């Protein structure tokens, strides 16, 4: 663990590695206590000059090194806590190196580590250097041959990337497996797994007719929970063939579930390692939302095989090259899966549900990042610790930037750009610029005289741009003139640039008449119900013809750009859009905005007018009864914006007031519409088909749970009994947890405790469900710091398991706003950051980020939060990971 602040690395300092390493041979003598690693490769100087060979290495012991067969003695090399520097004998030479690592002691879960009784690796971004000494950077690409040896009983399965060449039993009784990966790859894609597992296998035929073997490995006893994962994997293979024309390039593709994992999953070539939360699923123990998360993550990792592995990043500043693009791909995959078999408005509505969920994530996680001290462009200019840059900006905003290119080009031209990308760069490590070059080459062909030159600014600017809208209508000429103004204020601690040049914003727009009928738009020869404006100037106007009366604007349809829109308009207009907009995203947005206005005004201490309240209630009333809306969409549009999204819109941020104001509106809607919630609840309780996580069933369950919540929050007398019954009779986790969460959040103390006790009894042996039990309590309004401390003493709690730490500590700090925003809450947070840092700095740094935006809070929160950050900063031996966050927050 490092103790001082790390040096800053700048994008412009990139230098290619001086040596080419075509082939790597790795031999492992595996054991949890200590593992011996023998590395051999031949290196060739790129320019023929002999230069020092600098190898990264951390937390590993060097036992022996030789160059061209000659042992190098310690006085002839330089070894420090960051690596090894050697003086090669020639411009081309052989290196052999033996080192030792200690998986059992590895609590960071980077490099080779133990989870359960098995051994796993995690190498992205810089974990390989904790396994052996190597140029641990993405632009050094080599073919790997890997020999694994280990105890036959502990490790009957010995897995690595690529194809299995042989599997034997050695004279000493150990097992040995030899793997070869035919594709050159950077070290961050290396993986090995050793352990005993349940395995599910499926043989499929690829589009070219060749067979491929899909395998899903998990802990013994969990094998009955991998059918869904296998199905998702097969769907992913098919989808990438059909929509992107990209085929699986291996004979075998493996997924392995690990209980201890820092992130969601990892796309190691041919051997994806997953957090078990994104593999294991069955109706009884898994919610619909988790089923969909499994689908998304399996898709994501599988799609990386092309966008990430076949073409990878030149350096880590280009991380969004693979992450933004792959998130875009997994979002489209999920949307296509939801819309399967539907067409027209139904398909659009199904896709909109996914879009709504994705945009909500962006707003809850990325917008705050863009408004805080860690704000960075999707291609950052500098970093200290790369693991701090696996952010919502790189992933989610990165995906939005890809999506805008898709919008500008259209599906067919976008796919032509993708084909160009693989034609030019297959097998290479490239930059974001090189990706845009490919899209631009198509764009220039289809839009003569135009280019993506200005669009590239999206890769340079941090911050969420604001777009101000104004409208004038000329009744005599029957024209409507729309004016848009864009600005992007300085963001983050590096962004001193007061003036940022305007961005190329694809701005999708529609108009309705005063009765809610869609208008056909006419603009310079273009015609349509939705037009995408090329908004490129600081201020720009468009005049639409054939508009007899003042129109109602439907703005930023389908959220065509990651911006904030400012447009003053009366509530009545929003109410009209909420009922009639034909763009399902913009329709949802209008309803949300109506509710947001009301909540924000009561949070700020103003009493909303009766008319304002009535508009919201009437709108909800109309929506709850609308027979044309799918249950999934209805559940989204009738939900209130999340506390986090609301908080983001207050200035200064007033968390406790937001929680109360939101709760108050929930109560009012619960009361005003009680008969409708009851009717909806009863209707949706009718006999259902056998469980499936499909869009219809999942939508019905989420709408029913929403109705139940409204009934309970409003204190309707029948509510608790409905919840108890639902809990007792549930045959799936969505129903069971939905009922329990309503009781825990809004029920009386007795129901809450009975429910929690029963749930624990049922599920204590299932770690993923037990995580939910901890989360429920962490976020319950009745929970204070003292209860969380008590839960930390529960025998099932462990700080070492990231999922468990997240389920209790992170959930409490992030999603229990009433309790965390107290002096005890802030002290607790600082204490946990420090405790976690000793075990796992990457995870700790994520917890530290929860309040890096302290300066945006109301005064009574600001001072204690600052003091808590200073307390962390002063901690001796703080990791570089946490130091970077805290120092930036306090700058």
Residues at the interface with Zn ion (CB under 5 A): 323, 326
What is the spatial distance between Cα 62 and Cα 72, in angstroms, rounded to a whole number? 12
Binding mask 554-593 for ligand 0A1 (x = CB under 6 A): ----------------------------------------
* Closest separation in Å from C-beta 849 to ligand 0A1: 15
* Closest separation in Å from C-beta 300 to Zn ion: 6
Backbone angles phi, psi at 193, to 5 degrees: -140, 135
Q: Is 190 in the site for ligand 0A1 (CB under 6 A)?
A: no
* Closest separation in Å from C-beta 405 to ligand 0A1: 20
Strands 312-313 and 429-430, by their bridges, are: parallel
What is the spatial distance between Cα 105 and Cα 244, in angstroms, rounded to a whole number? 43
Q: Is 262 in the site for ligand 0A1 (CB under 6 A)?
A: yes
Closest CA to 704 of 717, 690, 725: 725
Q: Is 839 in the site for ligand 0A1 (CB under 6 A)?
A: no
* Closest separation in Å from C-beta 359 to Zn ion: 19
The partner in contact with residue 848, picked from ligand 0A1, Zn ion, none with C-beta cut-offs of 5 to 8 angstroms by kind, is none
Of 197 and 459, the one with the shorter C-beta distance to Zn ion is 459
* Closest separation in Å from C-beta 665 to ligand 0A1: 37
Of 265 and 780, the one with the shorter C-beta distance to ligand 0A1 is 265
DSSP class of residue 649 equals T
What is the spatial distance between Cα 752 and Cα 750, in angstroms, rounded to a whole number? 5
Edge-to-edge strands, sheet with 53-56 = 53-56, 83-86, 78-80
Of 109 and 598, the one with the shorter C-beta distance to ligand 0A1 is 109
Q: Where are the beta strands (DSSP E) in 448-548?
A: 466-474, 479-487, 505-512, 521-523, 526-528, 531-535, 539-544
Phi-psi region of 504 (alpha: psi -120 to 50; beta: other; left: phi over 0): beta
By the 8 A CB rule, do 386 and 125 touch? yes
Query: What Å distances lie between residue 728 and 223, 713, 761, CA to CA?
Result: 27, 20, 13
Of 126 and 132, the one with the shorter C-beta distance to ligand 0A1 is 126
Find the part of the chain contacting ligand 0A1 (CB under 6 A) among 261-269, 438-446, 711-719, 858-866.
261-269
Of 398 and 417, the one with the shorter C-beta distance to Zn ion is 398
* Closest separation in Å from C-beta 301 to ligand 0A1: 6
Count of CB atoms situated within 10 Å of the CB of 828: 23
Find the part of the chain contacting ligand 0A1 (CB under 6 A) among 223-231, 264-272, 713-721, 831-839.
264-272
What is the spatial distance between Cα 362 and Cα 365, in angstroms, rounded to a whole number? 5
Of 421 and 727, the one with the shorter C-beta distance to Zn ion is 421
Backbone angles phi, psi at 799, to 5 degrees: -75, -20
The partner in contact with residue 265, picked from ligand 0A1, Zn ion, none with C-beta cut-offs of 5 to 8 angstroms by kind, is ligand 0A1
Specify which residues 41 forms β-bridges with: 24, 95
3-class DSSP state of 99? strand
* Closest separation in Å from C-beta 123 to ligand 0A1: 8
By the 8 A CB rule, do 868 and 851 touch? yes
Catalytic position from the list 301, 396, 494, 884:
301
Residue 255 burial by Cβ neighbours in a 10 Å radius (0-12, 13-18, 19+): buried
* Contacting residue, 116, 182, 264, 518, with ligand 0A1 by CB under 6 A: 264
Of 298 and 374, the one with the shorter C-beta distance to Zn ion is 298
CA–CA–CA angle 10, 13, 17 (5° rounding): 125
Q: Which residues of 323-358 are buried (b: 16+ CB within 10 A; e: fewer)?
A: bbbbbbbbbbbbbbbbbeeeeeeebbbbbbbbbbbb
The partner in contact with residue 593, picked from ligand 0A1, Zn ion, none with C-beta cut-offs of 5 to 8 angstroms by kind, is none
Residues 6+ apart with CB under 8 A from 225: 218, 279, 280, 281, 282, 285, 286
* Contacting residue, 131, 237, 265, 723, with ligand 0A1 by CB under 6 A: 265
Query: What Å distances lie between residue 132 and 38, 113, 141, 392, 756, CA to CA?
Result: 8, 14, 16, 31, 46
The partner in contact with residue 571, picked from ligand 0A1, Zn ion, none with C-beta cut-offs of 5 to 8 angstroms by kind, is none
Binding mask 315-354 for ligand 0A1 (x = CB under 6 A): --------x-------------------------------
By the 8 A CB rule, do 134 and 286 touch? no
Of 269 and 300, the one with the shorter C-beta distance to ligand 0A1 is 300
Q: Is 41 in the site for ligand 0A1 (CB under 6 A)?
A: no
Taking the alpha carbons at both ends of the chain, their separation in whole angstroms is 24
* Closest separation in Å from C-beta 391 to ligand 0A1: 11
* Closest separation in Å from C-beta 789 to Zn ion: 35
Site for ligand 0A1 in 287-316 (CB under 6 A): 300-301
Of 265 and 532, the one with the shorter C-beta distance to ligand 0A1 is 265
Find the part of the chain contacting ligand 0A1 (CB under 6 A) among 256-264, 424-432, 489-497, 619-627.
256-264
Backbone angles phi, psi at 608, to 5 degrees: -60, 145
Listing DSSP states for 745-791 in one string gives HHS-HHHHHHHHHHHHHHHTT-HHHHHHHHHHHHH-TT--HHHHHHH
Tell me the site size for ligand 0A1, rule CB under 6 A: 12
Of 58 and 323, the one with the shorter C-beta distance to Zn ion is 323
Of 124 and 735, the one with the shorter C-beta distance to ligand 0A1 is 124
Find the part of the chain contacting ligand 0A1 (CB under 6 A) among 140-148, 257-265, 397-405, 774-782.
257-265
Q: Is 266 in the site for ligand 0A1 (CB under 6 A)?
A: yes
Q: What's 6-55 look like in SS3?
A: CCCEEHHHCCCCCEEEEEEEEEEECCCCCEEEEEEEEEEECCCCCCCEEE
By the 8 A CB rule, do 582 and 638 touch? no
Residues 6+ apart with CB under 8 A from 707: 677, 678, 680, 681, 684
DSSP class of residue 600 equals H
Site for ligand 0A1 in 116-135 (CB under 6 A): 122, 124
Of 108 and 673, the one with the shorter C-beta distance to ligand 0A1 is 108
Count of CB atoms situated within 10 Å of the CB of 849: 23
* Closest separation in Å from C-beta 128 to ligand 0A1: 11
* Closest separation in Å from C-beta 264 to ligand 0A1: 6
H/E stretch holding 100 reads: strand 92-101
Listing DSSP states for 120-138 in one string gives EEE-TTTTGGGTS-B--ST
Find the part of the chain contacting ligand 0A1 (CB under 6 A) among 174-182, 236-244, 265-273, 750-758.
265-273
Q: How many CA atoms lie within 13 A of 402 on its CB side?
A: 27
The partner in contact with residue 369, picked from Zn ion, ligand 0A1, none with C-beta cut-offs of 5 to 8 angstroms by kind, is none
Of 390 and 677, the one with the shorter C-beta distance to ligand 0A1 is 390
* Closest separation in Å from C-beta 365 to Zn ion: 15
Binding mask 381-410 for ligand 0A1 (x = CB under 6 A): ---------x--------------------
- Catalytic residue status for 105: no
Binding mask 66-105 for ligand 0A1 (x = CB under 6 A): ----------------------------------------
3-class DSSP state of 369? helix
* Contacting residue, 158, 214, 255, 263, with ligand 0A1 by CB under 6 A: 263
The partner in contact with residue 262, picked from Zn ion, ligand 0A1, none with C-beta cut-offs of 5 to 8 angstroms by kind, is ligand 0A1
Binding mask 812-831 for ligand 0A1 (x = CB under 6 A): --------------------
Binding site for ligand 0A1 (CB under 6 A): 122, 124, 262-267, 300-301, 323, 390
Q: Which residues carry out catalysis?
A: 301
């Amino acid at each position: 663990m490092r103790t001082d602040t790390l040096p800053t690395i700048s994008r412009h300092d990139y230098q290619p590695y001086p040596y080419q390493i075509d082939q790597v041979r790795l031999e492992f003598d595996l054991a949890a206590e200590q593992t011996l690693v023998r590395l051999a490769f031949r290196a060739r100087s790129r320019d023929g000059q002999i230069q020092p060979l600098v190898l990264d290495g951390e937390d590993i012991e060097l036992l022996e090194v030789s160059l061209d067969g000659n042992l190098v003695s310690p006085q002839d090399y330089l070894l420090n806590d960051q690596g090894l520097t050697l003086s090669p004998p020639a411009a081309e030479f052989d290196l052999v190196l033996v080192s030792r690592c200690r998986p059992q002691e590895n609590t960071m879960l980077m490099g080779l580590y133990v989870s359960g009784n098995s051994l796993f690796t995690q190498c992205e971004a810089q974990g390989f250097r904790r396994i052996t000494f190597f140029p641990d950077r993405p632009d050094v690409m080599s073919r790997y041959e890997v020999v694994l040896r280990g105890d036959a009983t502990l490790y009957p399965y010995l897995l690595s990337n690529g194809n299995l060449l042989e599997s034997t039993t050695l004279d000493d009784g150990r097992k040995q497996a030899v793997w070869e990966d035919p594709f050159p790859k950077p070290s961050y894609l290396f993986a090995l797994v050793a352990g005993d597992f349940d395995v599910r296998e499926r043989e499929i035929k690829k589009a070219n007719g060749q067979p491929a073997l899909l395998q899903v490995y998990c802990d013994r006893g969990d094998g009955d929970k991998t059918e869904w994962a296998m199905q998702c994997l097969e769907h992913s293979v098919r989808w990438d063939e059909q929509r992107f024309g990209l085929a699986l390039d291996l004979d075998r593709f493996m997924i392995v579930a690990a209980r201890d994992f820092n992130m969601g999953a990892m796309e190691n070539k041919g051997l994806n390692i997953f957090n078990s939360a994104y593999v294991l699923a069955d109706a009884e123990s898994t919610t619909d939302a988790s089923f969909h998360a499994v689908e998304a993550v399996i898709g994501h990792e599988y799609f990386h095989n092309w966008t990430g592995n076949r073409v990878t990043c030149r350096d880590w500043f280009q991380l969004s090259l693979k992450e933004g693009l792959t998130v875009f791909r997994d979002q489209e995959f999920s949307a296509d899966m939801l819309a399967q078999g539907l067409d027209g408005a139904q398909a659009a509505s199904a896709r909109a549900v996914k879009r709504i969920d994705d945009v909500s994530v962006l707003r809850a996680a990325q917008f705050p990042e863009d408004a805080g001290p860690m704000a960075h462009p999707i291609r950052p200019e500098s970093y200290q610790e790369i693991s701090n840059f696996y952010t919502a900006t790189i992933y989610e905003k990165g995906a939005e930037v890809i999506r805008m290119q898709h919008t500008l080009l259209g599906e067919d031209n976008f796919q032509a750009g993708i084909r160009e990308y693989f034609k030019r760069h297959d097998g290479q490590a490239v930059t974001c610029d090189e990706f845009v070059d490919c899209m631009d080459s198509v764009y220039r062909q289809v839009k003569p005289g135009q280019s993506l030159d200005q669009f590239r600014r999206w890769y340079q600017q941090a911050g969420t741009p604001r777009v101000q809208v104004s409208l004038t209508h000329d009744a005599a000429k029957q024209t409507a003139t729309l004016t848009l103004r864009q600005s992007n204020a300085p963001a983050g601690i590096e962004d001193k640039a007061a003036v940022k040049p305007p961005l190329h914003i694809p701005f999708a727009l529609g108009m309705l008449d005063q009765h809610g009928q869609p208008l056909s738009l006419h603009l310079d020869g273009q015609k349509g119900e939705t037009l995408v404006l090329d908004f490129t100037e600081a201020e720009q106007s468009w005049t639409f013809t054939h508009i007899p009366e003042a129109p109602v604007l439907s703005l930023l349809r389908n959220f065509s750009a990651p911006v904030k829109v400012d447009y003053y308009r009366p509530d009545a207009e929003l109410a009209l859009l909420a009922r009639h907009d034909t763009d399902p995203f913009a329709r949802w947005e209008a309803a949300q905005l109506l509710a947001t206005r009301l909540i924000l005004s009561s949070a700020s201490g103003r009493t909303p007018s009766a008319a304002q309240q009535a508009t919201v209630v009437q709108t909800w009333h109309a929506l709850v009864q609308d027979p044309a809306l799918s249950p999934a969409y209805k559940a989204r549009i009738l939900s209130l914006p999340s506390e986090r999204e609301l908080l983001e819109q207050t200035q200064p941020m007033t968390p406790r007031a937001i929680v109360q104001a939101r709760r108050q509106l929930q109560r009012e809607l619960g009361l005003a519409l009680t008969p409708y919630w009851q009717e909806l609840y009863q209707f949706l309780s009718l006999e259902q088909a056998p469980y499936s996580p499909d869009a219809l069933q999942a939508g019905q369950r989420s709408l029913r749970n929403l109705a139940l919540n409204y009934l309970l929050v409003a204190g309707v007398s029948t509510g608790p009994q409905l919840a108890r019954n639902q809990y007792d009779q549930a045959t799936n986790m969505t129903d069971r947890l939905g009922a329990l969460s309503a009781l825990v959040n809004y029920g009386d103390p007795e129901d809450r405790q009975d429910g929690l006790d029963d749930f624990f009894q049922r599920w204590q042996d299932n770690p993923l469900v037990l995580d939910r039990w901890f989360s429920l309590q962490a976020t319950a309004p009745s929970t204070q710091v003292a209860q969380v401390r008590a839960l930390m003493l529960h025998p099932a709690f462990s700080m070492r398991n990231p999922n468990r730490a997240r389920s209790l500590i992170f959930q409490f700090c992030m999603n229990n706003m009433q309790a965390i925003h107290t002096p005890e809450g802030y002290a607790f947070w600082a204490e946990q950051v420090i405790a976690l840092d000793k075990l796992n700095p990457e995870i700790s740094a994520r917890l530290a980020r929860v309040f890096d935006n302290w300066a945006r809070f109301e005064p009574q929160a600001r001072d204690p939060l600052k003091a808590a950050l200073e307390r962390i900063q002063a901690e001796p031996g703080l990791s570089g990971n946490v130091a970077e966050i805290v120092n930036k927050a306090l700058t």
